[in-house]
């Protein structure tokens, strides 16, 4: 049988095919962390384990609220089409439920994207479900905890226990007392600050290498009252490193629950947008497309919240040759990206799809999960390639690059520019940026040739 390409694997993992059966291969599975990635992993495990235990240190209340363990939770989070497709697989009807509770469905024709202040000539091909991070996480949490074999233990994970070549339990602390939860299978969903690599090294296993790309992103978000007559819409603005007027690197505006606009601005290095309401309003009015000024005309509903992310990072679990059995890692614990590109929740959903595919085919889930990490690597590579290409372009602007790198950057620029003027290229580009298709699907001779031709016919004036 011919080896599948990355694009074929990505296509299989991003399927919309509903889950209709279960296959119990585990007794107890433990998920370290109740983040979105942890909740989605728990949902998958519920179809393959008799019992699923989530250990989470934050109070998981019944109502939406920002959690201390998610410092970026007050910022705008996008749920791309690829992520929404997976949520519907695991939780049928969740889109309708979220809308009934206040989430906003943005028609594709109402989603506008500006690149270097150039307005789009095409519309987004996908509708977008829009809500704040606490709201969306709360809906997912309640659906997960409604499952009869899933429960939560409030506590802080402090380590793992190993034996017989595999992980056998999770140590956790609550009220100053440490306990051990026995486990046949363990999922690390502890986010960017995960200590799993250190615990593996201390126990004599390999520690995954950590790769960082500096981004030094500062971003700020506010909520503003949305007039009842305002149209349901969203606007995204991004700027290339060479754009002369890029004081503010980009941002977004979207309708969300509660009759509000969520508005986000971002800047790099020493540029720190929105540290005060006055600065935030000025940037929206002077630096951004007109939709931003209209959104901030309403009453501010919360103080401006700021956040800084120093780097994008990924841990190479797929490259490990010595790995204890019954252990995987998902979400930001494996890879976290420049949040400007909105890939986090959708990547976590596709990691869950990778876990499902692995558990459906593995003979014994207590063996080292090399096959899972191989599937997950396809998802990580796709998101990493998209986001870090732009980050590296910014870092390397003005630097002398090898011919191959200059050619790759030129070809990517041709596709991005053509996506603003050509409906076919726009759709193909959106399939990749919305994470329903692998990036290699863009680099075909036909797509590149059409992009170059489109740009010759309708050059963009910046």
pLDDT of res. 114: 86
Ordered domains of the chain (ranges, CATH): 6-84+137-211+313-379 (3.50.50.60), 103-131+213-309 (3.30.9), 400-457 (no CATH)
- pTM, to two decimals: 0.93
Whether the predicted pLDDT of 397 surpasses 70:
no
State pLDDT tens for residues 204-244.
Answer: 999 999 999 888 889 899 999 999 999 889 999 887 766 65
CA-CA distances (angstroms) from residue 29 to 90, 272, 348?
18, 42, 18
For Cα atoms 130, 136, 140, give the angle at the middle one, nearest 5 degrees: 135
Query: Please, which residues have CB within 8 angstroms of residue 244's CB and are 6 or more apart in sequence?
Result: none
- Are 219 and 266 within 8 A, CB to CB? yes
- Nearest CA among 415, 406, 412 for reference residue 454: 415
Average pLDDT (321-325) is 96
Query: Given this model, what pLDDT does residue 200 score?
Result: 98
Percent of the chain topping pLDDT 90 = 63
Pairing of strands 26-32, 49-56: parallel
- Write out the DSSP string of 409-429: HHHHHHHHHHTTT-HHHHHHH
For residue 90, pLDDT over 80 is answered with yes
Residue 190: pLDDT band (50, 70, 90) is very high
The residue that leads in pLDDT, 108 or 194, is: 194
Question: Binning pLDDT at 50, 70 and 90, where does residue 156 land?
Answer: very high
Asked if residues 300 and 284 have their Cβ atoms less than 8 Å apart, the reply is no
């Amino acid at each position: 049988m011919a080896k599948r390409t990355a694009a074929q694997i990505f296509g299989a993992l991003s399927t919309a095919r509903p889950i209709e059966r279960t296959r119990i291969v585990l007794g107890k599975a433990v998920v370290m962390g109740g983040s979105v990635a942890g909740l989605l992993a728990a949902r998958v495990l519920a179809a393959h384990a008799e019992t699923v235990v989530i250990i989470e240190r934050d109070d998981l209340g019944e109502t939406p609220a920002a959690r201390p363990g998610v410092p970026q939770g007050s910022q705008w989070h996008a749920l791309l089409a690829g992520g929404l497709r997976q949520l519907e697989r695991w939780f049928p009807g969740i889109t309708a439920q979220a809308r009934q509770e206040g989430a906003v469905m943005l028609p594709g024709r109402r989603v506008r994207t500006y690149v270097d202040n150039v307005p789009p000539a095409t519309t987004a091909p996908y509708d977008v479900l829009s809500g704040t991070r606490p709201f969306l996480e709360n809906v997912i949490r309640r659906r997960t905890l409604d499952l009869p074999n899933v429960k939560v233990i409030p506590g802080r994970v402090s380590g793992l226990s190993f034996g017989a070549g595999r992980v056998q339990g999770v140590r956790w602390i609550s009220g100053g007392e440490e306990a051990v939860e026995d486990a046949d299978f363990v999922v690390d969903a502890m986010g960017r600050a995960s200590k799993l690599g250190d615990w593996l090294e201390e126990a004599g296993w390999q520690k995954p290498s950590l790769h960082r790309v500096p981004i030094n992103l500062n971003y700020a978000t506010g909520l503003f009252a949305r007039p009842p007559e305002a149209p349901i819409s969203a606007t995204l603005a991004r700027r290339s490193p060479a754009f002369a007027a890029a004081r503010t690197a980009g941002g977004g505006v979207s309708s969300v629950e509660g009759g509000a606009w969520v508005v986000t601005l971002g800047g790099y290095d020493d540029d720190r947008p929105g540290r005060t309401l006055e600065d935030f309003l000025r940037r929206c009015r002077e630096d951004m497309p007109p939709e931003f000024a209209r959104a901030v005309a309403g009453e501010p509903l919360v103080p401006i919240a700021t956040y800084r992310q120093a780097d994008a990072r990924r841990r190479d679990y797929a490259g490990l040759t010595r790995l204890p059995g019954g252990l995987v890692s998902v979400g930001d614990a494996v890879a976290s990206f420049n949040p400007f590109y909105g890939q986090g929740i959708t990547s976590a959903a596709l990691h869950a799809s990778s876990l499902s595919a692995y558990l459906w085919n593995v003979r014994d889930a207590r063996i080292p999960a090399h096959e899972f990490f191989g599937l997950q690597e396809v998802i990580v590579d796709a998101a990493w390639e998209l986001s870090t290409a732009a980050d590296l372009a910014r870092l390397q602007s003005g630097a002398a690059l090898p011919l191959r790198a200059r050619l790759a950057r030129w070809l990517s620029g041709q596709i991005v520019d053509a996506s603003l003027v050509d409906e076919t290229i726009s759709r193909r580009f959106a399939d990749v940026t919305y994470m329903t298709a692998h990036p290699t699907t863009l680099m075909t001779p036909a797509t590149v040739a059409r992009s170059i031709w489109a740009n010759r016919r309708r050059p963009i004036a910046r």
